[in-house]
Amino acid sequence: MHEGRSFDPYGAHRDDPFSFLAEVGETEPVFYAPLLNAWCVTRREDVVAVLRDDRNYSARDHNPRSKVELPEDVSRMLRTWRGAGALAVGSLDPPEHTKIRDVLNLGFTPARVRAFEPTMRAIATDLVERAAVAEEFDLITDFAVPYALEVICRRLGIPDEYLDRCRMWSEQRIELMMLQRDTDPDRLREYARGLMDFGEFARSLVQERLASPQDDLISELLHDGKAGRTLTADEAAVQIPTLIFAGHMTCAEALGTIFFQQLQSPDGWAKVVDGTIATRDVAEEGLRFDSPLAGMYRTAVRDVEVGDVHLPEGSRLLLLYGAASRDSQSAGCPAGFSPGRGSATHLAFGHGIHFCLGAGFARMELEIAIQAVATRMPGLTLAPGLPPHHRPVFPLRALTELRVRQSR
C-alpha cells in the first residue's frame, strides 16, 4: 500500500483544493490519495493523455464511491434502479459507448441548441423577475438551481410539476454516491427507494413518447435518429436520469462560481453590465477557474505509465480537470480569475470520446443566465458576511449558498 498524500476534498481541502494540488503537483503531478483510494493526476498533459486513451483506461467505474458500507438492500437498489446491468453513457466504453453517444449527440447539434435559445431566455427572465422581488436573496437557491433544472427538463419534455421531484431524486443520488460517514439506514433506504422511483419515472416517460412523440429530446432519441439509428426504450430510459442530473447540477454549480468570482472582483460586475467583459469570457473563465466537475475517475485495464509513474492493472485514477485547467506549466492558464485570458484551454467539459455532449448547450445556458441577471440587476453586489463554503460532494464543486443584494 502506498503512503500517499493527505488530500481531503471533503474536509481540509473542501473550499480550496487547488492550493494543495498546485503545491504537490510541482514535484508530484501523479500522487496517491489514501482517502480516495485513487491516484490523482493533476498535470494537463497527463489528464489529456489518459482521456484520449480508451484502450488502456475504462470509464465504467467513473463515479465516486461511497466510503460507507451500505445495507444489502440499498446496494441492490443502487445496482438495479436504472435497470438490470444498465449503464449511462458516461460509464460505457467502446463499442457500446459509440452507438449511444452518436444518437445522443443529435439532440445537441448547433441547430437544435439555437432553436432552444428562446426557451432558455424566457426561463431565465421569468426567474430573475421572481428573484428581483427581494432586496437580498440566495442566488443559488432562488435562481441558479431552478433555472438549470427547468432548462434541461424543458428540453427533455418533462412537465413542470415534476421539477421538484427531479431535484430531490438528484440529491438522493448524490447522497448515496458520495456518502462519507455513517447515516441512518432507514434514511439510506428512503434515498434508494427514491432512485427506484426515478428509474420508473424515466421508463414511463419513454413509453409515453413511444406512443405519442412530442417536440422534445426524449422523442428525438426514440424516433429521429440519423440514418435510422435510434435508442431502444431501455437505452433511452437509462440516459434520462443522467441527463437531468448532469444537465442541471453542473450548470448551477458553474453559475455559483461565475457570479461569486465576478462580484468579488473590483468593478467586476459593472464591467459585465456595460459590456467591457463579454458574457462568453466570464462563462468560460468560471468553467476554467473552478470547474463544476473537479474531476472524473478512470480504471487502468492493464499496466500503464502516467507521468512517469508505473501503475498496475486495476489502478483507479482521479483525473483532476480543475487542477489541470490551472496547470502552471500549461500556456494560457492564469493563476487568478481572469476572464478573456486563456479560458479556452480549460477541461471543464472533459476531453476525448467522453467530452461533454451538451457543451454547446451549457455554454449558451450560462451566457443567457448572466445576461438576464445583468440586464435586470445592474447594481448586484455580494451581501455582507462570511465568504460562501462548498458542499462536501467532491468531485462536484457546489457552493452551499451565495447571498447577493441588488440596489434599488
Q: Give the Cα separation of 83 and 86 in Å (integer).
A: 5
Model confidence at 370, pLDDT cuts 50, 70, 90, reads very high
Collapsed DSSP state (helix, strand, coil) of residue 111: helix
Q: Contact, 186 vs 155, CB < 8 A?
A: no
- For 135-153, what is each residue's pLDDT tens digit? 999 999 999 999 999 999 9
Q: Give the Cα separation of 300 and 341 in Å (integer).
A: 34
Q: Is residue 20 part of a domain?
A: no
Model confidence at 183, pLDDT cuts 50, 70, 90, reads confident
Q: Which amino acid is at 159?
A: P
Omega of the bond leading into 339 within 30 degrees of 0 (cis): no
pLDDT, residue 32, reads: 97
Domain that holds residue 279: 70-290+340-405
246-255, 328-337, 369-378: lowest mean pLDDT where?
A: 328-337
Mean pLDDT, rounded, of the chain = 92
Q: Cα-flanking dihedrals φ and ψ of residue 25, to 5°?
A: -65, -20
The more confident residue out of 386 and 256 is: 256
Model confidence at 66, pLDDT cuts 50, 70, 90, reads confident
Measured from the Cβ of residue 163, the count of other Cβ atoms closer than 10 Å reads 17
Q: Is residue 393 part of a domain?
A: yes
Q: Give the Cα separation of 331 and 338 in Å (integer).
A: 14
pLDDT, residue 70, reads: 87
Mean pLDDT on 297-305: 97
Q: 156-159 long-range contacts, Cβ below 8 Å, gap at least 24?
A: 156/205, 156/216, 156/217, 156/218, 156/240, 156/243, 156/244, 157/205, 157/209, 157/214, 157/215, 157/216, 157/217, 157/218, 157/219, 158/205, 158/244
Q: Is residue 15 part of a domain?
A: no
Q: Is residue 147 part of a domain?
A: yes
Q: Is residue 259 part of a domain?
A: yes
CATH number, domain at 263? 1.10.630.10
Omega of the bond leading into 95 within 30 degrees of 0 (cis): yes
As for how many domains the chain has, the answer is: 1
58-67, 233-242, 292-301: lowest mean pLDDT where?
A: 58-67
Q: Is residue 6 part of a domain?
A: no
Model confidence at 228, pLDDT cuts 50, 70, 90, reads low
Q: Is residue 235 part of a domain?
A: yes
Mean pLDDT on 66-81: 88
Residue 226 has pLDDT above 80, yes or no: no
Q: Is residue 208 part of a domain?
A: yes
